[in-house]
Structure 1
Amino acid sequence: MLQQVYPSARHDYCYELNKDFHFAAAHYVPAEEAGSCSMLHGHTYYANVTVAGDELDATGFLVNFSVIKKLIHDRFDHTLLNNDTDSFDEHNSERFPTTEVVARTIAELVQRYLDGTPNKPSCVQVFLRETPTSYCVYRPKRTGKAGGHE
């Protein structure tokens, strides 16, 4: 993956970790208004996941880089996203596999893992590039949690 500068997520945590990876997947947006995107097609998605926190784990990591890649790459690479009915739903536009929803889903999957770790860092941003000219940035809403993020 080429080195790239990503938009910065605002947070008050001491540590910030960023993991770049890519995955190839097909999808379609099940809505007539989506135009050509309603037809089955594929992308090589490029993702950057930002995790932040104040405490390191017993190995001195905020989170192991390989865990983040494995959570997403192993799940989505060389798949038809629409078939992942745990993540996407063809009857609910809030869960169509659009770039926005895929980015949010990546954040949710990573956060679910992080919530089970002793140091409990936060996924503060997902940058997801679908094409060379199109990308989405997803940032979970801030809450009153320590560090100021969901």
Structure 2
Amino acid sequence: MMQQIYPVASHSYAYELNKDMQFAAAHYVPAEEAGKCRKLHGHTYFANITVAGDTLDSAGFLVNFAILKQLIHERFDHSVLNDDTESFSADEPDRFPTTEAVARTICEIVQRHLDGTENRARCLQVYLRETPTSYCIYRPKAGIAHA
């Protein structure tokens, strides 16, 4: 993957880790306003996940890069996002598999994992590129619990 420059999430943590990955997935947006996107179509998504914290774990990691890839790539690569009914819904607009909702979902999945670790790092940002000209950045608000 080519090196890219991502917007920086402001924080005061000692460590910041960024993991780039890509996955191929199909989706459709079940809303009249979505136009052509109402039809099933696919993308090669490029994601950058930003994790930060002050303490390393017993292996010397903030979080193991391989775990981040496993959490996201293995779940979404070569899938139809709409079929993941744990993450997405055809009835709730906030849970349609739009770029915004996919970025938020990635953040929530990563944070659930981090919440179970000894050093409890934070997922500060997910940058998700859906096409060469369109991307979304999701940054959870501090203190808000996620699904």
TM range (shorter): over 0.9
SS in 2 for 1:63: coil
Paired positions, count? 144
Aligned partner of 2:45 in structure 1 is 45
In structure 1, the gaps of 5 or more residues are 145-150
Partner of 1:121: 121
Three-state SS of the structure 1 residue aligned to 2:102 is helix
C-alpha distance in 2 between matches for 1:143 and 1:79: 32
Q: Where does residue 82 of structure 1 map in the other structure? A: 82
- What is the aligned partner in structure 2 of residue 67 from structure 1? 67
Residue 67 of structure 1, CA deviation: 0.4
Distance across 2 between alignment mates of 1:23 and 1:143: 30
Per the TM alignment, residue 142 of structure 1 is displaced from its structure 2 partner at its CA by 1.7
Consecutive unaligned residues in structure 2, runs of 5 or more? none
Give the share of equivalent positions with the same residue, in percent. 69
- Who is 1:147 aligned against? none
1:85 Cα deviation after fit? 0.1
Say which SS state the counterpart of residue 16 (structure 1) adopts.
strand
Distance 1:80 1:9 in 2: 30
Query: Which residue in the other structure is 2:9 paired with?
Result: 9
Q: Distance in 2 between matches of 1:111 and 1:142?
A: 12
Matching of residue 96 in structure 1 with residue 96 in structure 2: yes
- String of CA shifts for 1:74-131, please: whole Å, max 9, x gaps: 0000000000000000000000000000000000000000000000000000000000
Q: CA deviation at 1:12?
A: 1.1
Amino acid at match of 2:23: F
CA distance in 2, matches of 1:62, 1:91: 37
Shift of 1:143: 2.9
SS of corresponding position for 1:136: strand
Root-mean-square deviation over aligned CA pairs: 0.9
Give the superposition deviation at 1:21.
0.3
User: SS at 2:88's partner residue?
Assistant: coil
